[in-house]
Chain A
Amino acid sequence: MKAAELFHKYPLTDNTWDEMYNEESVRLHYQNVYETLSNIPADELIKKEELAKSLFMSQGITFTVYSSGEGIEKIFPFDIIPRIITGSEWSFIEKGIKQRLLALNLFLKDVYHQQFILKDGIVPVDLIYSCPHYLREMQGVNVPHDIYIHIAGIDLIRDNDGTFYVLEDNLRTPSGVSYMIENREITKRIFPDLLPQNHVRPVTQYPNILYKNLMALSHRQVSSPNVVMLTPGIFNSAYFEHTTLARLMGIELVEGRDLVVENQKVYMKTTAGLQQVDVIYRRVDDEFLDPLVFNPDSVLGVSGVLSAYRKGNVAIVNAVGNGVADDKAIYVYVPEMIRYYLNEEPILKNVPTYQLGKADERDHVLKNISKMVVKKTNGSGGYGMLMGHAATDQEINDYKQEILKDPRQFIAQPVISLSNAPCYVNGKVQPRRIDLRPFALYGPDGIEIVPGGLTRVALKEGSLVVNSSQGGGSKDTWVLAE
């Protein structure tokens, strides 16, 4: 059986954008890949899938799940069929993200300084002060080059007519970029020659751009600033990503216990004594960063690092306190921010969002809850969500009780049908829901977005949740040259 037959049974889903098919015909930008796959014997595809798995395993691109004292290595599931984005789609996305990021960054600077946007009544004051990620400690603190969001992973989805929507803004410590890089390496191995045939734009430059930006943040006038990456350690599920980025940038990967603060300066403990640190690219959340200021039980952080930061003796990436800008209740106001700060119309659309803190919107949502997705404003990873169309009456009632306890903590969105892309699942090509997370880098020279990103896939049939913690996987993401 040739793979061509696999595609014959590909079921199109009603009222859903399919990345490969336009009605019954294959979209132009997928044709080359479609033909290549169609000419491969079906059992060869199984071999390719196995090769991909063994490559991830042998390179240690795994995360460890610890159970009963023993570590089991797991692979983040990878689908072998690439997701393809055309050059014109990409330039639209690129423009939209740059615009959005610029406004969000201005918003953070404003909120932590003069607060014009609050005084002008564009964003309600109580929404800021009730946000657990708004940090008073950052009020009035100047950060290098006024950049707060050095790395953003803004999640995009496509509605049934193919329109891109922003699902959420990840402005704290977005992860997944190592899979953008490694998935591409795997594609090179399982489909030789396919990348150059399709004129796929490369993604390898990401670490170099990030490194250049990190170097530029150093406050000291030294020829080679000491840039480090702070990881929670080898037990973290994203540890592979931390070590990959550190290696690709040639910077030291440190843990909290490697650092010490003395006289409001940060040092790392080396075999030749203490050595000053200038820039910290941290993958530790705000609340664990400094036990003296935030969670006192944190052993992942560094005591006193915030005082060194406030003093300007060390740069922290991303800035501390960014959570106030990617809070799901603030999300509603991003289009307004773009108009307010940039005097432009937003390029990328927001998903219509109801704030349950507002009485009339809450009533509307509670009445129509079966058509809604309800989320916590500070939740992530697909946890604590209610998918109205799939929940039982009991679940809905319990969730309603939760909402009424503190409505500010919830937002609701109509169920958006994510777009479908062909995936190779259980020996068959089947449609699965996907999203897209491009990684934007904001440095003193401006915003750069490497053409590509992380395409997450909901591998469970019919599922709309792409998070890796909920059975999601990923795909290599191609952006074609014009």
Chain B
Amino acid sequence: MLSRVADSLYWMSRYMERTDSILRILKINYASSQDSPDDFSWRPVLQVFGNLDDDAISNVGENSRAVLLYMVLDKDNSNSIFNMATQARENARGVQDNITVEMWKCLNGFYHVVRDDRLIYALQHGDPITVLDSLIKECMLYFGITDITMFRGEGLCFMNVGKYIERAIQSAEILDIKLNSLSYDLDKPTDTAYWKYLLMSISGYSLYLKKYQSGFEARNIIDQVLFDVNFPRSVLYSLHHLDLYFERLRDDKNAEGFSKVHFSIGKLKSKVQYSNVQSVSNVGLHDYLTEITTEIDEIGSTLNQYYFAYS
């Protein structure tokens, strides 16, 4: 496969995973802002996903609609849904002959949806949850279509590598945003509604109830989001799948590249596999989560160097 094509597939997939993830974050945060406006702040979300300075954050931070407009439609925000849908589609456009027509139509359709005036109107005047749900549906459509139509081969492997790299980062970040607002104090009493929304947004709510059979405890949430191998959005699950799909790219012609990337993935996977909430709390949660995202970024750069370099 052409390096440029692999690169585009990888990024197309990362952008869609990130789009899906940010939409879910917006949804829980918005719901939370309606429940307990006094405790709630958009600041962590804007700090992580926006590129506004402190003053600008203070200006829009109180106004949920302004934040949603910024996060969904702002052309100057590189993480806005508008820009990411555009990026995903532009990457797909350059590799149309390497994905299925159905996938192309889906991404092209999403691109036109975020450009539709009706979306702006709905975000300004309608129910934000309805809008976010409709956008999340576009993402679900993409994931479903990819699963059903995309041929099993090198291309899909690069897409899945991108997808699980992005998902691991996002799950770590969703957690970090919330823990930040607790100042990383796990014993601090907090509004449990937020944890509920967090779990619901990443489809982890019913699993949590079955597994822990208790109220919402920060430690249990961390355990599920980081270490539960049966939870498809956990960091460990993502790393397992990253390892699985990368393993399929083993090729004697690029033995050096393969062994470098394989080594970093294995190292990070072991690190997460052999941690638990207790040991992580000892290191410091924020530091631990930062280490994970940094190491994932390094895997990305190594991939770039050995697999995607073409210009």
Q: Give A contacts to B, CB under 8 Å.
A: 57-60, 70-71, 73, 233-234, 239, 243-244, 246-247, 250-255, 257-258, 268-273
Contact = CB atoms under 8 A, between A and B. Distances in A.
18 contacts: A57-B112, A58-B112, A60-B108, A70-B75, A71-B86, A244-B96, A247-B97, A252-B2, A254-B2, A258-B2, A268-B2, A269-B309, A271-B2, A271-B6, A271-B158, A271-B249, A272-B254, A273-B254
B257 to A, nearest CB: 8
B137 interface: no
A60 B97 contact: no
Contacts of B108: 58-60
A60 B311 contact: no
A115 to B, nearest CB: 41
B94 interface: yes
B251 A258 contact: no
A273 to B, nearest CB: 5
B93 A243 contact: yes
Given A70-B75, A271-B307, A59 B105 contact: yes
Given A58-B105, A60-B105, A239-B93, 15 more contacts: A59-B101, A59-B108, A60-B93, A73-B112, A234-B94, A247-B97, A253-B95, A254-B2, A257-B310, A257-B311, A270-B2, A270-B3, A271-B307, A272-B1, A273-B253
Contacts of B95: 253
A250 B2 CA distance: 14
Contacts of B3: 258, 269-271
Contacts of B308: 271
A234 B93 contact: yes
B263 to A, nearest CB: 18
Contacts of A252: 2, 5, 97
Interface of B: 1-6, 75, 86, 90, 93-97, 101, 104-105, 108-109, 112, 154, 158, 249, 251, 253-254, 307-311
A3 B176 CA distance: 64
Contact of A243 (B4, B97, B310): B97
Contact of A234 (B90, B251, B253, B254): B90
Contacts of A258: 2-4, 310
Contacts of A57: 112
B172 to A, nearest CB: 27
A272 B109 contact: no
B105 to A, nearest CB: 6
A57 B97 CA distance: 18
A3 B154 CA distance: 53
B81 to A, nearest CB: 16
4 closest A-B pairs by beta carbon, nearest first, are: A272-B253, A247-B97, A60-B108, A246-B97
A248 B254 CA distance: 30
A271 B112 contact: no
Most A Cβ at <10 Å: residue of B4, B75, B95, B253:
B4
A273 B262 CA distance: 18
A271 B109 contact: no
B202 to A, nearest CB: 31
A257 B2 CA distance: 11
A207 to B, nearest CB: 12
